[in-house]
Structures are given as structure tokens and as C-alpha cells.
Structure 1
Amino acid sequence: MRDIRAAIKDPDITNLGIVVDADDSAESTWQSVRAALEKTGCANLPTQPEPNGLILQPSSSLPYLQKRIGVWIMPDNQSPRAIEDLFLQLISEENYHLQRAKAVVAELIAEGQNLFSKTSSNKAETHTWLAWQEEPGKSMGLAIKSNWLNTEHPLAARFADWFSRLFDLEG
């Protein structure tokens, strides 16, 4: 969280987007981010994560808080887990390769042959699916740019809306 405080105090940053994985709990992750924000002088922060992402408008007399600050807790500001869970939701459930990736990961876990922790099964499913695409090895970001995912999914739309509002982008 030191990085958050340093970024907030950086005079060259005018808009700051903080995107973190919820891991075990969106609420406890929010409490950590909230504490870091409060240490920099941010006030009147909500007690719970905002479902559509938080955007703080510049409102302080402190010069370094004259910036817009946004917080998004992956995957959806409410659920535990990580960015990979958002990514997996953008793939059609009927997608054969996604079904197979999930099945293979589940089989490895059931057989005790997984080298990854069970809590990282989402990461294993994501990267297995990516490895089975026409261009194996692409990152999640490049997969989105390549239109491999449903970017019209409601969760993708919520994230894109938050991002656009934070950085003053036009639709």
C-alpha cells in the first residue's frame, strides 16, 4: 500500500486508478486500500467497496489530493478472487476450450497432481485457455484486444464505465 501513497503524492499524476485483486475478501481488501487512502488525507470514504467502483473527486486543500482517484477491486468490487475471474466471465460458458480447461484443472486437483494451489485454480484455468487459442501465449490484455472475449458482458461494461469516468474518456 506504500505504492498507493507514493502515487497519490506524485505531482505528475492527475488521475490515479487503483486496481487490486480481492483475493479472499473484497471487503478486507477495501479496508486495506481505505486505510492507505486515509493516511494520505482522503476523507469521507465509504465503509464498503462501491459496486460500480469508487471515484473520488478532487476536494482537499492538500495540493497532492487535487486529483481524481479511483478504486476497483477485482473481479467485481464484491466477490473474492482476482482479475482472472473477471476474465473467465467474459468467455462464453459454452466455449469448448474453456470447459476443457476447467475440467483439466479440476482433474489435476482431484488427482493431487496440481503444482498450483487450489486457490489459484482460476489462474490455471485462464492460462490453460489462453494456451489453447489460435495464438498461444497471448496475455489477457492482448486476448481482449483480439476480440476473443465478450466485451459486452455486463461486468466488462461496468469496469469500462468506471475506467472511462475516472480518466474522462468518451464512450
Structure 2
Amino acid sequence: MSKKILLVEGNDDRTFFKAFCKKLGLTDVDVPEITIVTPKDRGSQRNGWTNLVDHLPTEIKRLRSGDIDKLAIVIDADFAPNNNGGVTSRRSLVAKKINGFLQEQNYGLYEISDQPNYQKGDIFKHANGLPDIGLWIMPDHQNEGMIENLVEQMISTDTEQQALLAHTDLSINNLPTKLFKDIHLSKARIYTWRAWQKEPGIRLPDALSENLLSIEAAANFSNWLVSVFK
């Protein structure tokens, strides 16, 4: 297993970020592979952001022992006030879990400012020499939302794809009954847009490889990933 770890919420995130890293050139024959892991990979009963945060002390132990030397964390902001949603709240929970554990171990803490490094992503430094920890909160390390909100921004600007996206919005607006919650609108948009491709229901990794999604539209996230794993 690589010593570079990207910790994500679940299996769908894993497949997307694996394709994203490959497209970005972070993983190839000359670069040690980044291992993308979920909470269940690390022994949790379930995936999801709460299990990811609860698992962080184990990752800190691996950083201290040298089992891993680079760690990045990606979680959704979701929506406040539901379930501790929002960038500030989720970031605070991550910070407390990391430094709370180190304090219990009587070890130096990570330097974590009160405010996120908005839009650029956080990279936490440690005074006693532990490796940096990167944190990105989807979609853009500033606004509420989830990974699907980032994907929305990445949809190709060509006429065909934008026409499909516009018709997706028209179809959703004309639903006789809308069963999903407003906070899941981005999920409905992306799943519908995917359903209308040449390969109905195309996987997001394939949408990336076929340039239906533009990696250039996620420049801030890309720059953060490169900074963590360089």
C-alpha cells in the first residue's frame, strides 16, 4: 500500500477521485500511487463522514509511526444546521478530533486557524514534525453542498452538454411530484444528466475520461491535491 492516503466518505467518492487523480497526473508509472480509502476499509461498520471523522485518530497513529507520510481528507459540507453541516462546523469537528487525540497523547498539536482557507483548501502543519494533513470540504471549501455540486461546475461547456443540462432542469421543474429534498437537487441533476448520455447512467470516472467533465473547472481542488501530495 502506498504511504500517500486520501481518506474519503465512500465507494463512489473513491472511484471518482481515483479517476480525478489519474487525469491530473498525480498517479502514473513515475509517481507512487495514492491509496484512496473509506472508513469501511479501515474497519468501520459503515462509510460516511461521521465514521471518517471518528477514524482520524487511527490515521494520526499511522502518521506518527511512519506507516503513512501524506494524508488528505475529503468530506462533504452538506447543509447547516442539519447534522453539523456547513464548512465551518465540519472543519471544526475534524480539527477537534485530530488535536483532541494528540492532546490526550501529550503530543504537539497541529496548527489550525480559526477560519478555513476558503476556496484554496487547508493544509495543517505540525510543530513537532508530523506530516502535514490536508483537508478539503466539498464542494469548494467555502459553500454548503456536496461532491455533486462540484461535478455540476465541471460539466463541459459544449453546446450538447449544456443543452442536456438545461433540459434536466426543465424536467425537474416540471415533475408532478418532487419526492427528494431541496438539499439533494444537485444529486437529482447529476443523476439525470448522466442518464441521458450515450452510455445511459455513465459513471463519473468515465465522464471524466471522455471529457464530459472538465478538470480545469475544478482548479482550486486540483491545486490543493497537488500541494498535499507533491
- Residue 93 of structure 1 deviates from its aligned partner by 8.7
| Separation of aligned partners in 2, 1:134 and 1:145 | 14
| Separation of aligned partners in 2, 1:13 and 1:132 | 41
Q: 2:127 aligns with which of 56, 59, 63?
A: 59
Q: CA RMSD in A?
A: 1.9
Match of 1:157 in 2: 219
Match of 1:73 in 2: 137
Q: If the length of structure 2 is used for normalisation, what is the TM-score?
A: 0.63
- Number of corresponding residues: 159
Task: Give the secondary structure class of the aligned counterpart of 2:134.
Answer: strand
| Separation of aligned partners in 2, 1:151 and 1:16 | 22
- Any conservation in 1 of the 2:110–2:127 contact (CA below 8 Å)? no
| Separation of aligned partners in 1, 2:191 and 2:117 | 29
- Any conservation in 2 of the 1:4–1:18 contact (CA below 8 Å)? no
- Residue 106 of structure 1 deviates from its aligned partner by 2.6
Structure 1 residue 124 corresponds to structure 2 residue 191: no
Structure 1 residues 145 and 5, CA gap change in structure 2 (3 angstroms): farther
Task: Give the secondary structure class of the aligned counterpart of 2:111.
Answer: coil
| Separation of aligned partners in 2, 1:151 and 1:14 | 26
5+ long unaligned stretches in structure 2: 1-52, 80-85, 103-108
Match of 2:68 in 1: 13
5+ long unaligned stretches in structure 1: none
Q: If the length of structure 1 is used for normalisation, what is the TM-score?
A: 0.83
Structure 1 residues 47 and 133, CA gap change in structure 2 (3 angstroms): same
> Structure 1, residues 75-125: CA drift from partner, whole Å, max 9, x if none?
1111001111011011239601111112222322xx3x2232221111010
Q: 1:39 aligns with which of 95, 100, 123?
A: 100
Structure 1 residue 148 corresponds to structure 2 residue 212: yes
Identity within the alignment, % = 33
- For 1:162, the aligned partner's letter is W
| Separation of aligned partners in 1, 2:173 and 2:57 | 40
